[in-house]
Structure 1
């Protein structure tokens, strides 16, 4: 390897110094889990880097090496949720696909953390355009793709007309559950998801 006039390797100065921090994945995951726990426990406004670090069992510097603020940390976590998305069902019928989506969505919304975190973040999003954009991706855009796939399959099977409104389908799929589970905070009575699946399929014009 070429050396300079002093006999030193010129690339040496560009190397990471000995003992430089390596971002351990286990710590990163612990921090992400702590974010969810802190959001559920105290909400976004009262959440702090100190509290997150304490819950994750790491120092504050471990958090700041990865994210420069709690907003960016939450944005990252929310974006990861959006990337995961909902599974696209393929039951062979519109009603079956709708019923499966309702089941998955209802389980997610009834999770103790989700039932605390989502309303809090939606309220905070009114004051933070960045958070509002991330929540839109997590709670709307990713789900709209699934709804579009369900509608497209139903159109191909001849169950729905060509001009069905995909965004309306998403509203019908998720609106009642958000309202009942996160706003009214009421339990779902027996047979509710079956009845809702029938209503959604009928409202979309299923033949």
Structure 2
């Protein structure tokens, strides 16, 4: 059976690059759906290719293995999940971080994929290292910008720890949505924002 995607000729016709990018996007989307429905352990290149509507060689041209495929896709998406808030105030930024993280974790795919990947990370040093690099680096960078802006506005003292701020702001959101799997209402998001603000102010006095 012919592969749905064929190698591009030496002189690619107009639009060929767009077609290739469409194939890559279809594969990435298929990976997330397969992770959500089957989990990492049962995920296969064959299933990803079938769901994406391409042949297996289209996947292997881009990634050498299932592990490389999943790690690359998760890394890329992790860096795009949470934009850096810039509302003009620390309270506004914290509230936006809380609500944005809640929205991301509330997504049906995320609710299945995140716990599964964390479980796999306990068994695979490569997955653990990638999750730490992708997720923690991204979120720490965002927290660093938020705290730096707050310090410049005089809302927090110099030396406020961005990592501690990240724990205080997003830790409760993850606990509620990913661990105990309870909803986070708008009123509760506002309460978490107030609690995080109080905790940051208290931490800054030590």
Deviates more, 1:75-84 or 1:49-58: 75-84
Could you tell me how far apart the structure 1 residues matched to 2:72 and 2:38 are? 19
Structure 2: give runs of 5+ residues left out of the alignment: 1-5, 9-16
User: Counterpart in 2 of 1:113?
Assistant: 109
User: Counterpart in 1 of 2:169?
Assistant: 173
User: Counterpart in 2 of 1:82?
Assistant: 78
1:1-207 aligned within 5 A: 21-22=7-8, 24-205=20-201
Could you tell me how far apart the structure 2 residues matched to 1:88 and 1:26 are? 28
Using the TM superposition, give the Cα deviation of residue 134 of structure 1 relative to its aligned residue in structure 2, in angstroms.
1.6
Could you tell me how far apart the structure 2 residues matched to 1:52 and 1:189 are? 35
Structure 1: give runs of 5+ residues left out of the alignment: 1-19
Using the TM superposition, give the Cα deviation of residue 47 of structure 1 relative to its aligned residue in structure 2, in angstroms.
0.4
Contact 2:30 2:52 in 1 (8 A): yes
Using the TM superposition, give the Cα deviation of residue 85 of structure 1 relative to its aligned residue in structure 2, in angstroms.
4.9
Q: CA RMSD in A?
A: 1.6
Contact 1:88 1:149 in 2 (8 A): yes
Residue 91 of structure 1 aligns to a residue whose secondary structure is coil
- TM-score when normalising by structure 1: 0.86
> Could you report, residue by residue, the CA deviation over 1:93-125 in whole angstroms, capped at 9, with x for unpaired residues?
111110011111110000000110011001101
Could you tell me how far apart the structure 2 residues matched to 1:82 and 1:190 are? 24
Could you tell me how far apart the structure 2 residues matched to 1:151 and 1:165 are? 8
Could you tell me how far apart the structure 1 residues matched to 2:84 and 2:61 are? 36
